[in-house]
Amino acid sequence: MSETALRNTDIDAALNEAKEAYVTRNPKSLARYVEATAVMPGGNTRTVLHYAPFPIAMARAEGCRLWDVDGVEYVDFLGEYTAGIYGHSHPTIRAALDGALDKGINFGASNMTEARFAKAVCERFGLDRVRFTNSGTEANLLAISLGLIFTKRKKVLVFDGGYHGAVFGFAGGGSPINAPFDYVLAPYNDMDATRALIAQHAADLGVIILEAMMGSGGCIQADPAFLTMLREEATRIGAVLIFDEVMTSRLSPGGLQALRGVKPDLTTLGKYIGGGMSFGAFGGRADMLDMFDPRRADALPHAGTFNNNVLTMNAGLVGLTEIYTPEAAKALNARGDALRERLNALCRAADAKLQFTGLGSMIAVHTVRGPVRTPADAARGDQKLKELFFFDMLARGIWLARRGMMTLCLPIGDAECDKLATAVQDFLETRRSLLSGA
Ligand SMILES: Cc1ncc(COP(=O)(O)O)c(C=O)c1O
């Protein structure tokens, strides 16, 4: 057998063993899962949370800690896929929610908080106007539709491997459930090919949408020059540039766009900005957003029963203005940068086929050597090794996404970062033979 074939057999054996131990440790999660499959397809209502042999169910959480239904404690390094920045029991968020509940849920009317929250969001992210939705998916649906109506064009440039919500998945090209827009699929970080596609479709291209760092796609940063090129090209051909900052808005006080100094026409937001409640928003240029002004005879409609729900409005407002202040954003991202560098130093010292990409408080693991600049680079990694990393981290009390994504929440401190570094070092030592090679 070749060295690679031998290593693959060893990875399979290690993975089987890790999964067997997982099954033994999690009997109540298994029972919950089996019960759920009777009424939910595959026991699931959120695809990303499923993994084989069955997903862990959590019972409760506090600060940056979670306890599963079998009583095992984890440090929460997932942070609800960036939505959980405040941790699980921030007293200020709790007080805002209690205060809102005391006054009655959902009035079927405008309330006194929504405009204050809108002002905070606009000031923070450099938007002229903003509208609220219930999810990031909805925010992108509305922003793309607005861009196409504004430009009177049909095509939307998206990037292979990108993700903009439930009906905007472009891993491997696209998904059958995607919203039926006329997409042009471009390669992320490929200047020449993307420029050529923009030139080819210039007359019909109404929208260019991307994340300045792919989040779900593996925490892969766009080159600053790539973003500048897209800004220039969008302006040149009269297309609307949308930055999906649903995840990345946390990466600096003004989002990743402020860090890169590139201003899109529209920005979409979501996740933590609702204070942990359901949330989405799209905003940007007044001349575009004002197409929704209901005082206009030709106003575009934008409905949504829960667009201004009082829980989101109140939790979001205190979150952004009192907790995740610009100073807090800088500190959290500095912590993330230091942690990622520490983990990468461990990988380099072990000469392991393992690395951590990302920026600030967003981190993703890849089982590949060399730069990860595109989803294709990431896909070259050994997926079974990545699965093993996931199960080994769970066994060491680290909660993370099955795909290897981690994000920092505010309650994470030095002790939690030490715990993760120790877990990674353990992985590097115990799995050394599997992590060698090209
Ligand atoms: C970049 C990006 N855009 C949009 C969305 C969709 O947000 P939501 O899950 O709130 O619909 C996500 C969710 O993960 C995301 O990562």
What is the domain-level CATH number for residue 340?
3.90.1150.10
Q: Is 190 a catalytic residue?
A: no
> Which DSSP state fits 222?
P
Distance, C-alpha 275 to centroid of its chain: 15
Same domain, 69 and 175: no
Same domain, 279 and 203: yes
Same domain, 35 and 157: no
Same domain, 161 and 54: no
Radius of gyration of the chain (CA): 22
Q: Pseudo-torsion of CA 342, 276, 66, 27, nearest 10°?
A: -120
Smallest CA-to-CA distance from 400 within 79, 70, 171, 118 is with: 79
Same domain, 427 and 308: no
Same domain, 28 and 107: no
Domain count, the chain: 2
Same domain, 127 and 206: yes
Does the C-beta of 274 come closer than 6 Å to ligand 1?
no
58-62 and 65-68 as β-strands: parallel, antiparallel, unpaired? Answer: antiparallel
Output the residue whose Cα is nearest ligand 1's atom 2: 164
Last residue of a domain, which of 323, 340, 361? 323
Smallest CA-to-CA distance from 205 within 165, 233, 229, 180 is with: 233
What is the Cα–Cα distance from 331 to 168, expressed in whole angstroms?
32
Same domain, 103 and 58: no
**Would you call 214 helix, strand, or coil by DSSP?**
strand
Residue 236's domain is classified under what CATH number?
Answer: 3.40.640.10
H helix or E strand, kind and range, residue 405: strand 405-407
> Which DSSP state fits 82?
G
Does the C-beta of 246 come closer than 6 Å to ligand 1?
yes
Cα of 246 vs centre of ligand 1, distance in Å, is 6
129-133 and 155-159 as β-strands: parallel, antiparallel, unpaired? Answer: unpaired
**Would you call 167 helix, strand, or coil by DSSP?**
coil
Supply the pTM of this predicted model: 0.98
Does the C-beta of 284 come closer than 6 Å to ligand 1?
no
Smallest CA-to-CA distance from 240 within 146, 158, 347 is with: 146
Task: Indicate which residue of 22, 33, 81, 163 is catalytic.
Answer: 163
What is the Cα–Cα distance from 275 to 284, expressed in whole angstroms?
21
Does the C-beta of 135 come closer than 6 Å to ligand 1?
yes
Same domain, 103 and 14: no
Output the residue whose Cα is nearest ligand 1's atom 12: 165
Same domain, 295 and 408: no
Distance, C-alpha 308 to centroid of its chain: 23
Output the residue whose Cα is nearest ligand 1's atom 3: 164
What is the Cα–Cα distance from 420 to 426, expressed in whole angstroms?
10
The DSSP string of 106-136 is --SS--SSHHHHHHHHHHHHT-SEEEEESSH
Atom of ligand 1 lying closest to residue 137 CA: 11
Q: Is 163 a catalytic residue?
A: yes
Last residue of a domain, which of 298, 323, 348? 323
Does the C-beta of 215 come closer than 6 Å to ligand 1?
yes
Q: Which residue has the tokens 């084989």?
A: 52
Same domain, 253 and 145: yes
What is the rounded end-to-end Cα distance, in angstroms, of the chain? 17
Does the C-beta of 280 come closer than 6 Å to ligand 1?
yes
Atom of ligand 1 lying closest to residue 216 CA: 16
Does the C-beta of 212 come closer than 6 Å to ligand 1?
no
Same domain, 243 and 97: yes
Q: Is 204 a catalytic residue?
A: no
Within 21-154, strands assigned E span 58-62, 65-68, 73-76, 129-133
Last residue of a domain, which of 295, 323, 351? 323
**pLDDT tens per residue across all 438 residues of the chain:** 788 888 889 999 999 999 999 999 999 999 999 999 999 999 999 999 999 999 999 999 999 999 999 999 999 999 999 999 999 999 999 999 999 999 999 899 999 999 999 999 999 999 999 999 999 999 999 999 999 999 999 999 999 999 999 999 999 999 999 999 999 999 999 999 999 999 999 999 999 999 999 999 999 999 999 999 999 999 999 999 999 999 999 999 999 999 999 999 999 999 999 999 999 999 999 999 999 999 999 999 999 999 999 999 999 999 999 999 999 999 999 999 999 999 999 999 999 999 999 999 999 999 999 999 999 999 999 999 999 999 999 999 999 999 999 999 999 999 999 999 999 999 999 999 999 988
* Residue span of the structural domain in which 106 resides: 91-323
